[in-house]
Amino acid sequence: MHLKTVLYEISDYVATVTLNRPEAMNSFNQDMLDDFGVLWEAVKTDDDVRVVVLRGEGERAFSTGMDVRQGIDRHPNVWSQTDPGERLSPKLNQVWKPLVCAVQGMAAGGAFYWLNEADLIICSDDATFFDPHVSYGRTAALEPIGLARRIPLGEALRIALLGLDERVSAERALQIGLVSEVLPREQLWERADEIARIIAAKPAAAIQGTVRAIWESLDSTRTQALRTGLSYTQLGNPIGKAEVDPDTVPKRKWRLR
C-alpha cells in the first residue's frame, strides 16, 4: 500500500496504524480518508492481520478530527454527500478484526469516528476528550450518536452540548467507561501492543465472530441478536476449535484488572 498520511506495519498478526500528521494534530484530510479506504480493505482481506492498533504520532493529540483548513472533498449535490465515517470507521467497512485505540493528548470531534467503533480504548493520563462542533455553530450529530452507544446518554449529551468549554479528563473517561485503562504516556504504546498480541494469539475465527456478533447486536432486538449470535457460533466454532492447539492453552493463568 502507498499511504500518504498514516504509517502501517504488521508484526505477529498485529497491524499497527499510526496517524502521521502531527503538524496538524493528526486531523484527517481527504488524503487520510483515501488512505483509510484502502487500509480497511487491506485489513479485512489479509489473514496475516488479526488485530489492529491505532495510535497518533506526536505529543499533542491523538487526533482533533477533520482538518478545517484543508477540508475534505464533498459532492456539490447535498443529497450525494457522504459521511466521512464511511471511510474512517472499521465496522462500517465490515472489518471484524478487533481495534485497539491508544489515545494520548487531545481526542476531539471526528476522532470519535475511530473511538466509537474501537473494541478497546486505553489512554495516557494526559488525554482529554471533547467535541467542539456546537462552539463553532455546527450541529453535533454523527460523533455523539455513535458515542451514545458507548457511554451513558447523559455523558454523551454533556460532551456534545458543552463543546469547547469542557474537556473530559482521562480519569473521568475511565469512570464513564469510555476507556478501560489509563497509563503514563511512556507506557501507552507498549501496553496497546501487549493487549493486541494477547488477542492475536487466540483463534482468529473465534475472535472475529465474537466482535461481529456483539457489534451487530446493537442494531437488533435482543431476541434477534441472540438468534444471530447462535448462528455465528454454529458457523465459527468448528473453525475456531480447529485453530486451537490444546497444549498451548494456559490452565491456570489469570490477569487481574
Q: What's the number of CA atoms in the CB half-sphere (13 Å) around residue 168?
A: 27
- How far is the C-alpha of 60 from the C-alpha of 22, rounded, in Å? 8
Our CA dihedral for 108, 194, 117, 102, rounded to 10 degrees, sits at: 0
- What's the pLDDT score for residue 243? 80
Residue 213, domain extent: 204-245
Q: Which of 234, 202, 228, 201 is nearest to 215 (CA)?
A: 228
Same-domain pairing of 34 and 122: yes
188-193, long-range: CB < 8 A, 24+ apart: 188/55, 188/102, 188/104, 188/122, 188/123, 188/124, 189/55, 189/102, 191/102, 191/122, 192/53, 192/55, 192/100, 192/101, 192/102, 192/122, 193/14, 193/16, 193/53
Same-domain pairing of 161 and 233: no
Q: In a structure prediction context, what are the per-residue pLDDT tens digits for the chain, which is 257 residues long? A: 799 999 999 999 999 999 999 999 999 999 999 999 999 999 999 999 999 999 999 999 999 998 878 767 677 777 777 777 788 999 999 999 999 999 999 999 999 999 999 999 999 999 999 999 999 999 999 999 999 999 999 999 999 999 999 999 999 999 999 999 999 999 999 999 999 999 999 999 999 999 999 999 998 888 888 888 888 888 878 887 788 776 666 665 555 55
Does residue 113 belong to any structural domain of this protein? yes
Does residue 75 belong to any structural domain of this protein? no
Q: How far is CA 254 from CA 136, 172, 250, in A?
A: 48, 27, 9
Same-domain pairing of 186 and 231: no
Sign of CA dihedral 104, 109, 114, 118: positive
Same-domain pairing of 176 and 230: no
14-19, strands of its sheet edge to edge: 6-11, 14-19, 51-56, 99-103, 120-124, 181-183
* Ramachandran region, residue 215 (left: φ > 0; alpha: ψ -120 to 50; beta: rest): alpha
- What's the pLDDT score for residue 229? 83
Same-domain pairing of 22 and 136: yes
